[in-house]
Structure 1
Amino acid sequence: MSVARAQEAWPDRPIRLVVPFAPGGVTDSIGRLSAEWLSNRLGKPVVVENRSGGNGSIATEFVAASRPDGYTLLVASASQFAVLPALTPVRYDPVQSFAPISIVASNPFALAVPAKLGVSNLQEFVALAKRDDTLNYASAGNGSGSHLTMALFLRRAGIEMQHVPYRGGGPATQDLLAGRVAAYFGNPAEVVPQAQGGTVRIIATSGSTRVPELPDVPTVAEQGVAGLVTETWNGLAAPAGTPPAVVARIAEAMRPACQDAAFRASLARLGVDPVCNGPAEMGARVAADLPVWKEAVQISGATLD
């Protein structure tokens, strides 16, 4: 069969969607939602395959080296495409090794502080940190998005705080609730429920716009700390060289998902915002993220645990 006829016939067999982490996390959940949506739209099974290890690099390298025929796709993320290459050598190039398809969902980070800290906005928090050099902050681990976002914020705000890394967002949030740490730049899904209970206060978010669940919480930039926009995202990518027509077909199949009420509700339960953009937008996002996270790694001195 000619290349042109193969592209016209695509897909004529099941598609493999590789997830870089074990089942159960946000990335895996977004991958499974996307797989179900695409299966229904493309008329062929989209089978999720979890290949965990190497902080996501094992799966990412596997897909980068796979045949570019549209039958092996990756659940990509900001972590694998922009953060990990700044932390450690990897056997793929986030720009050259992949054909971007679509960012499915994204979310910024939310800066939460114990309610008893007595600050209600970012200016008060910065002023307190300048007066008290004993303040510390939690992160979900060295090199995590929460760690790197806080490192960028501290540099932009001209303050210093002691870093206390945890093994995940759950333990970090628990110590925030207990008042053992003064701040945590966490995923909204981790801290919004706590803020609703009144134990913690969310004083800023790190995205370019406000979080829908937190319409009254200004972004970092809105509160006078310029040059800080960080978000984490998950999307779909194919090996470089995948026919553009196939890439476009997958992107167009995914685009309506973020207008679907049930799909949006599923993303909301994960604490992420719907995006469902196209290859050009995803490619631009990757290119924009690379220098941001590289700077954050350099500022933080982060290394992999």
Structure 2
Amino acid sequence: MTPINRAVCALTLLTAANFGGTSIAIASGPCPARFIKMIVPNPAGGVGDLISRVVAEKASAELGQPVVVENRSGATTVIGTDFVAKSKPDGCTILSLTASGVVVSVLRENLPYKLEHDFAPIIGVGSLPMALAVPVASKLNSFADLGAAAKSKDGITYGSGGTGSLAHLSAVRLIKELHGTGNHIPYRGNSDAIQGLLGNQIQLFFPSTAEALPFAKSGKLRLLGVTSDERLPALPDVPTMKELGFAGFSPRLWFALLAPVDTPPNIVSRLRDGFAKAVIDPSVQERLRAYGFTTEIQNPPAVSAFMKNEAGRWSKLIKEENIKITD
């Protein structure tokens, strides 16, 4: 079991212990059902799952009823996102959205939902930088080695947690800026991609810092760079992409919570207040900062504007590189 999976299991057990034998005052919460269901449209064990569980645990206390994380992965976030879009707009089912969910909305032409029309933003939570990771067993000991491999006859083989994910587009953009070529291997989630990297099946992967840290600390992965503005305290020897000569290369895995459209404004407001208090709680902040997470609380209009800007930012690269989802 990986360190990320162990953390997820621990959080799941802790949540169960907190609510298993406790009578929650349901009437005080924003949802008329027994609990609030937070849908994570990614596989269990990934960073979206981990961050969602950290926040949900504290939000349960703030909202007055359990917030239970449920993974509904598949089709690069589409299955879980569509489930929330079609859920009853009563505050009992919400979506934990990351940047990959917005990218998919640009890549897929016939989605069963539209992010800008079928959801009511609740709150923007914050973001994580990405890490440029290579296998310890590889000959890629420096960024210069990586550049040479990308420009070689065979190019470089890179992985992702799925076509259209932020890790996928980050690698495409980097290889493009290196004037190299790459061969993409999509996995069923970031956890599987990390295992591919550990097994030396791929040469490059862009996990979030939350996913990369345990393996970097244990010496199982080599990190050549991070996309944060400054070096991370937990990784003081790893340069930023800006230091490596790529000042504009700063993809980040951001998080926001959405409800189905037509969710009553008073319920959205209660959810927003509860999650905002949870995110800024000192104990939650301490846990999130350990992964390089930066809290960036955004109100609903700001979340909508951010999603629109994020879609526009990646659409140019998608068109230039003719990236398509074929499944």
User: Which residue of the partner structure matches residue 34 of structure 1?
Assistant: 55
Q: Do 1:139 and 1:186's aligned partners in 2 also have CA atoms closer than 8 Å?
A: no
Q: Does 1:163 align with 2:175?
A: no
Matches within 5 A, 1:164-183: 164-177=185-198, 179-183=200-204
Q: Deviations over 1:235-263 (max 9, x none)?
A: 31122343444433322322233333432
Shift of 1:198: 4.2
> Compared with structure 1, are the counterparts of its residues 29 and 162 closer, same or farther at alpha carbon in structure 2 (3 Å cutoff)?
closer
Q: Do 2:45 and 2:191's aligned partners in 1 also have CA atoms closer than 8 Å?
A: no
Q: Does 1:13 align with 2:32?
A: yes
Matches within 5 A, 1:194-213: 194-198=215-219, 200-213=221-234
User: Which residue of the partner structure matches residue 117 of structure 1?
Assistant: 139
Matches within 5 A, 1:78-93: 78-93=99-114
Matches within 5 A, 1:183-194: 183-194=204-215
**Structure 2 CA distance, aligned partners of 1:174 and 1:39?**
33
Structure 1: give runs of 5+ residues left out of the alignment. 1-8
User: Which residue of the partner structure matches residue 158 of structure 2?
Assistant: 138
User: Quick one: which of 189, 210, 214 aligns to 2:235?
Assistant: 214
Shift of 1:154: 1.6
Shift of 1:204: 1.6
One-letter identity of the residue aligned with 1:293: W
Structure 2: give runs of 5+ residues left out of the alignment. 1-27
**Structure 2 CA distance, aligned partners of 1:51 and 1:109?**
23
Q: What SS is found at the alignment partner of 1:13? A: coil
Q: Please report the TM-score for the alignment, with normalisation by the length of structure 1.
A: 0.78
Q: What SS is found at the alignment partner of 2:206? A: strand
**Structure 1 CA distance, aligned partners of 2:307 and 2:166?**
15
Matches within 5 A, 1:1-305: 11=30, 13-14=32-33, 16-19=36-39, 20-21=41-42, 23-114=44-135, 117=139, 119-121=141-143, 125-127=146-148, 129-130=150-151, 132-140=152-160, 141-177=162-198, 179-198=200-219, 200-267=221-288, 271=291, 273-275=293-295, 277-279=297-299, 280-298=301-319, 299=321, 301-305=323-327
**Structure 1 CA distance, aligned partners of 2:52 and 2:252?**
18
Shift of 1:156: 2.5
One-letter identity of the residue aligned with 1:220: M
Identity level (%): 34
| Aligned residues between the structures | 294
One-letter identity of the residue aligned with 1:191: A
Shift of 1:51: 4.1
Which stretch has the larger CA shift, 151-160 or 98-107?
Answer: 98-107
One-letter identity of the residue aligned with 1:301: I
Q: What SS is found at the alignment partner of 1:95? A: helix
> Compared with structure 1, are the counterparts of its residues 220 and 267 closer, same or farther at alpha carbon in structure 2 (3 Å cutoff)?
same
Q: Please report the TM-score for the alignment, with normalisation by the length of structure 2.
A: 0.73
Q: Do 2:30 and 2:271's aligned partners in 1 also have CA atoms closer than 8 Å?
A: no
